Homo-oligomer: A and B are copies of this chain.
């Protein structure tokens, strides 16, 4: 008869559209029309097909559908970071959450992937270009990584979180106003009377790191001061990176009275370093973070920070991607969402 079942523990092969059609006494085409909700079918045919499908627990084979329509009804959420970072940083989790919600609302599925090693990247490329997803949401692009370009070249629509460092002309992205946020924080520190305002910058192979530093510089210069490199300590977005960078800064410039940290997580490290060195945070030294992750409000003292609209970023990226997949016209390649200063007790 037929070959042995290969799928799971299923005893009989899955019912097909053919069987539904036969049982309903109509053609495969009509059965397909009913099941897809196509308009042109008679009441009678509809009822017959629906009843037949129910009786034999028919579920359409998605691979067959995908093969002919070219659509898989799912998108990938890809993070180019270590698992450690992905799950330790509330920013990524917030993005994952809002993307998952937006994708589910659109009736699609989310394929969640974390990429560390280069070979993972090749595998993902084959997977995405192979048509198992209709598009990709890409987070945390580093340096001049060409992944988005390669995806687009293979026909896979891709939307980035954060402005890419290279290839920016052709790529699509959604970003927060990182430069504006850096200015906001730095200006606030300057205007509240701080005179030796330093920054613990983020990684400079990422756009968010560069832009927040650019915002700092721009605010310093707008205040009529000169940009002083001894007040800039490059760290990353993690607590330990912020801690180490703050320590180096303190060694070099023990006179700092304010620090703008490029992320909240880094700010936590900065605060710890300050406390270890016996400085009163918010008094001796003001601190401002970036992101406004939930934990920021729970710190002692509560952290003043630049609020990024994380949920809005995630849903904006997702909507943009879905619109591209639908082939909608007149979309803008770049979306930049505003940020705002949230005053708490550290500045």
Give residues of chain A (71-120) contacting chain B, Cβ–Cβ below 8 Å.
71-74, 77, 83, 86-87, 93-94, 96-97, 100-101, 104, 107, 109-114, 120
Contact B8 A57 (CB under 8 A): no
| Residues in B neighbouring A83, C-beta threshold 8 A | 97, 100-101
Contact A104 B113 (CB under 8 A): yes
Distance in Å: Cβ of A87 to nearest Cβ of chain B: 5
One complex includes copies of this chain to the number of 2
Determine whether A123 belongs to the interface, using a CB cutoff of 8 Å to chain B.
Answer: yes
Picked from B64, B130, B152, the residue with its CB within 8 Å of the CB of A61 is B130
Closest B residue to A3 by beta carbon equals B70
Contact B131 A62 (CB under 8 A): yes
Determine whether A313 belongs to the interface, using a CB cutoff of 8 Å to chain B.
Answer: no
Complex CA gap A251/B83 in Å reads 44
Closest B residue to A94 by beta carbon equals B87
Contact B9 A130 (CB under 8 A): no
Complex CA gap A67/B72 in Å reads 13
Contact B74 A132 (CB under 8 A): yes
| Residues in B neighbouring A101, C-beta threshold 8 A | 83, 114
Complex CA gap A324/B325 in Å reads 35
Interface flags, A1-44, vs B, CB<8A=1, else 0: 00001111110001000000000000000000000000000000
Picked from B5, B9, B127, the residue with its CB within 8 Å of the CB of A152 is B9
Distance in Å: Cβ of A321 to nearest Cβ of chain B: 10
| Residues in B neighbouring A113, C-beta threshold 8 A | 100, 104, 109-110
Determine whether A154 belongs to the interface, using a CB cutoff of 8 Å to chain B.
Answer: yes
Determine whether A66 belongs to the interface, using a CB cutoff of 8 Å to chain B.
Answer: yes
Closest B residue to A86 by beta carbon equals B97
Complex CA gap A255/B127 in Å reads 61
| Residues in B neighbouring A7, C-beta threshold 8 A | 70-71, 131, 134, 155
Determine whether A157 belongs to the interface, using a CB cutoff of 8 Å to chain B.
Answer: yes
Determine whether A156 belongs to the interface, using a CB cutoff of 8 Å to chain B.
Answer: yes
Distance in Å: Cβ of A151 to nearest Cβ of chain B: 9
Contact B120 A155 (CB under 8 A): no
Determine whether A126 belongs to the interface, using a CB cutoff of 8 Å to chain B.
Answer: yes
- Cross-chain pairs A/B with CB under 8 angstroms, 13 sampled: A6-B70, A6-B71, A8-B152, A9-B324, A14-B154, A57-B153, A62-B132, A66-B66, A74-B111, A87-B94, A87-B97, A104-B113, A107-B123
Additional 4 contacts, C-beta under 8 A, given A10-B154, A14-B129, A100-B112? A7-B134, A63-B66, A65-B130, A109-B127
For the complex of A and B, 4 pairs with smallest distance between CB atoms:
A10-B155, A62-B130, A63-B66, A112-B112
